């Protein structure tokens, strides 16, 4: 005799069976059955209430980035579902595994084939809206399909290149009874085996190169291979350059780490890429912010070998003669660790001398006051802490100047570049990691999901919220200074943009408040005391992010330009 079970109960049991401990959402009419089911199983999985569905979606991203399980967020139909879309796009572009569950109107209320805009209250075709930013999105209209669709969606979210999936479930389907043991399941297709011949060619290229380097991207984090990658770096013994999203893969003081490349990257990293003769691109899609607007000026002397799990990314050809290897890093990195000749690392001592000389020549380049403050803050944050950043100048100051320790993990909103990401991502990361979190924000980004401070207060989460406040939308203000004759439309006070008192905001949300006006105001207790706090860094309105790449220049020739004698000397090394 088969035991019957309500579908919403089955969904919650399925999530708990996969090891998911926390999900995020907002109440709504079309998810009341799902909410009820979460409540009945709260000893196994906890559903947390956000104060906006976008916050729920970003929480799911932060949870996934730290737990290596899919993050889960739910919302009701109509505005609830559409409010998830920014977070769905963020998960898609940054390859974050997430399962989004949306309620939908009863099937007998739906629009069907009618030529009307809407039939049921809050009825919205969310599937059509998210098709281009999900790996899989489907409406479940047959109760007998629920096991198949859950298993398929879950598998697709984590397999090959991870990403978001969405199941839209009408309310009358959620409340129907099923017999779980009679449901059909999903059988995944076998994965493509690693091409060992192609990998042997990589080893040969390493043996003949005199100036090789690794360009590592966030894909190494996404597939959970950070520790294995560190072993590979030790075996290879060659310089490592990262994308901005991968700055935490190696600790800042690692002997092989020479910083991150790109428009706002480290000068030394951009010079090293310009002078190397072999690049192993591992986990990076080589976007235009990394290589510059002119592909021909990117690493002109180097052979490029690209490892990519998503064959579609290889259609963006960087070099005409690049070697493309379609493979999963979860197979590639262990294979290379096992087969690389560790004796080859001794061949590269001259190359390391060049890299170190480049570093020395550029060590005295001036940086901005926010960079000094960021570096000082980094000294007070313990090793075993998760760090989140928002989007804008605060993000770049962090990437450029924060001294990352070996066990720290950094979460960015990369490809989508969503302001308002840091705070809710920090909440998700807190539950996904069971660690303390420090959330870095600008005065603009923090206001986009400022309501989630109530979540932090309600749950007394160990999250320190740092707000770099220049009372301006600083990155756009700088852009207007450069290209619009300093006409600061909508970016500064008295011209359309203002900020609140963050001290009063902290008081309203009953959170401790600290203020930093220079690097000497930073104190360890601001970041190490128990519980949440808001830490405001007060800056002048005129702030900059330097170095910065100008259009059509090679990556290593950033603004403000260094002396031509130093530039020429480095290029001749």
CA 101 to chain centre: 21
Q: Looking at residue 193, what is its pLDDT?
A: 79
Domain count, the chain: 3
pLDDT average, residue stretch 204-227: 95
Q: 445 and 321 in one domain?
A: no
- What does residue 546 show for φ and ψ, rounded to 5 degrees? -135, 150
For residue 417, is pLDDT > 90?
Answer: yes
Burial (Cβ within 10 Å: 0-12, 13-18, ≥19) of residue 235: middle
Q: 510 and 395 in one domain?
A: yes
Q: 290 and 155 in one domain?
A: no
Least confident of 181-195, 277-291, 447-461, 493-507: 181-195
In percent, the amount of the chain with pLDDT more than 70 equals: 99
For residue 357, is pLDDT > 80?
Answer: yes
For residue 1, is pLDDT > 60?
Answer: no
For residue 420, is pLDDT > 60?
Answer: yes
Q: Which residues pair with 329 in a beta bridge?
A: none
**Residue 175, CB-side half-sphere exposure with 13 Å CA sphere:** 13
- Domain end residue (candidates: 311, 333, 362): 362
Q: What is the pLDDT of residues 231-280, one digit of tens each?
A: 999 999 999 999 999 999 999 999 999 999 999 999 999 999 999 999 99
Q: 398 and 323 in one domain?
A: no
Return the closest-CA partner of residue 59 out of 496, 470, 413, 565.
413
For residue 344, is pLDDT > 70?
Answer: no
In-domain check, residue 569: no
In-domain check, residue 546: no
Q: What is the pLDDT of residues 10-62, one digit of tens each?
A: 999 999 999 999 999 999 999 999 999 999 999 999 999 999 999 999 999 99
Q: 268 and 132 in one domain?
A: no
Q: 382 and 347 in one domain?
A: no
In-domain check, residue 557: no
Q: Answer whether 92's CB lies under 8 Å from 163's CB.
A: yes
CA 482 to each of CA 348, 365, 470, 473: distance values in angstroms, whole numbers, following the listed order: 42, 22, 18, 15
Q: 267 and 246 in one domain?
A: yes
Q: Looking at residue 2, what is its pLDDT?
A: 62
Q: CATH number, domain at 63?
A: 3.40.50.970
pLDDT average, residue stretch 489-506: 96
Return the closest-CA partner of residue 405 out of 532, 228, 247.
247
For residue 366, is pLDDT > 80?
Answer: no
pLDDT average, residue stretch 529-554: 92
In-domain check, residue 81: yes
For residue 509, is pLDDT > 90?
Answer: yes
Least confident of 139-153, 242-256, 364-378, 425-439: 364-378
Q: 167 and 206 in one domain?
A: no
Q: Looking at residue 549, what is its pLDDT?
A: 86
- What does residue 535 show for φ and ψ, rounded to 5 degrees? -120, 110
Q: 157 and 26 in one domain?
A: yes
Domain that holds residue 290: 196-362
* Number of other residues whose CB lies within 10 A of the CB of residue 21: 15
Report which of residues 191 and 243 the model is more confident about. 243
For residue 134, is pLDDT > 60?
Answer: yes
Q: 225 and 155 in one domain?
A: no
In-domain check, residue 561: no
- Domain end residue (candidates: 362, 378, 396): 362
In-domain check, residue 497: yes
In-domain check, residue 46: yes
CA 362 to each of CA 349, 376, 566: distance values in angstroms, whole numbers, following the listed order: 20, 20, 9
Q: 178 and 61 in one domain?
A: yes
Q: Where are the alpha helices (DSSP H) in 327-469?
A: 329-339, 349-362, 369-380, 393-401, 422-433, 453-459
In-domain check, residue 563: no
Tokens of 171: 């309310």
Q: What is the pLDDT of residues 423-445, one digit of tens each?
A: 999 999 999 999 999 999 999 99
For residue 336, is pLDDT > 60?
Answer: yes
Return the closest-CA partner of residue 300 out of 556, 551, 550.
556
Q: CATH number, domain at 213?
A: 3.40.50.1220
- Domain end residue (candidates: 362, 397, 417): 362
Rounded to two decimals, what is the model's pTM?
0.96
Q: Looking at residue 195, what is its pLDDT?
A: 82
Tokens of 203: 């080893």
Q: 422 and 325 in one domain?
A: no
Backbone region of residue 499 per phi and psi (left: phi > 0; alpha: psi in -120 to 50; beta: other values): beta
* Mean of all residue pLDDT scores within the chain: 94
């Amino acid at each position: 005799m088969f035991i019957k079970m309500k579908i919403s109960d089955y969904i919650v049991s399925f999530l708990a069976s996969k090891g998911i401990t926390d999900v995020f959402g907002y109440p709504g009419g079309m998810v009341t059955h799902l909410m009820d089911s979460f409540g009945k199983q709260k000893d196994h999985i906890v559903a947390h209430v956000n104060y906006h569905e976008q916050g729920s979606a970003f929480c799911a991203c932060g949870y996934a980035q730290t737990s290596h399980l899919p993050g889960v967020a739910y919302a009701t139909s109509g505005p609830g579902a559409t409010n998830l879309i920014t977070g769905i796009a963020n998960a898609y572009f940054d390859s974050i595994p997430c399962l989004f569950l949306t309620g939908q109107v009863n099937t007998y209320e739906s629009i069907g084939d009618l030529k009307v805009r809407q039939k049921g209250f809050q009825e919205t075709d969310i599937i059509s809206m998210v098709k281009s930013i999900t790996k899989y999105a489907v409406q479940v209209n047959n109760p007998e399909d629920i096991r198949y669709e859950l298993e398929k969606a879950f598998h697709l979210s984590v397999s090959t290149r991870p990403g978001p999936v969405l199941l839209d479930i009408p309310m009358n389907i959620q409340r129907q009874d099923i017999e779980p043991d009679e449901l059909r399941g999903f059988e995944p297709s076998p994965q493509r085996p690693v091409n060992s011949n192609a990998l042997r060619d990589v080893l040969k290229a390493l043996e003949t190169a005199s100036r090789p380097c690794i360009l590592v991207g966030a894909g190494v984090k996404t597939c959970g291979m950070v520790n294995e990658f560190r072993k590979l770096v030790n075996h290879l013994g060659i310089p490592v350059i990262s994308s901005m999203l991968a700055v935490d893969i190696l600790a800042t003081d690692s002997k092989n780490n020479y910083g991150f490349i790109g428009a706002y990257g480290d000068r030394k990293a951009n010079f090293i890429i310009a002078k190397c003769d072999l690049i192993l691109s591992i986990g990076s899609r080589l976007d235009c912010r990394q290589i510059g607007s002119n592909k021909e000026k990117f690493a002109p002397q180097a052979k490029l070998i690209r490892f990519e799990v998503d064959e579609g990314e290889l259609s963006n050809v960087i070099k005409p003669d690049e070697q493309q290897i379609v493979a999963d890093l979860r197979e590639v990195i262990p294979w290379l660790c096992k087969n690389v000749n560790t004796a080859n690392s001794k061949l590269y001592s001259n190359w390391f001398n060049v890299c170190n000389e480049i570093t020395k020549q550029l060590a005295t380049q001036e940086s901005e006051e926010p960079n000094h403050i960021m570096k000082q803050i980094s000294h007070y944050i313990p090793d075993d802490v998760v760090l989140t950043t928002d989007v804008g100048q605060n993000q770049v100051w962090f990437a450029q100047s924060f001294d990352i320790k070996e066990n720290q993990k950094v979460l960015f909103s990369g490809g989508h570049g969503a302001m308002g990401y840091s705070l809710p991502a920090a909440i998700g990361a807190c539950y996904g990691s069971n660690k303390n979190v420090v959330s870095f924000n600008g005065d603009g980004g923090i206001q986009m999901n400022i309501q989630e401070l109530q979540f932090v207060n309600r749950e007394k989460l160990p999250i320190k919220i740092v707000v770099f406040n220049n009372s301006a939308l600083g990155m756009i203000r700088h852009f207007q200074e450069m290209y619009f004759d300093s006409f600061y439309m909508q970016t500064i006070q008295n011209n359309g943009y203002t900020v609140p008192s963050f001290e009063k905001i902290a008081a309203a949300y009953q959170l401790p408040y600290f203020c930093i006006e220079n690097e000497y105001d930073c104190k360890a207790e601001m970041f190490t005391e128990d519980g949440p706090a808001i830490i405001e860094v007060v800056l002048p309105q005129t702030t900059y992010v330097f170095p910065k790449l100008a259009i059509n220049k090679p990556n290593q020739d950033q603004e403000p330009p260094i002396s031509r004698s130093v530039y020429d000397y480095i290029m001749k090394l």
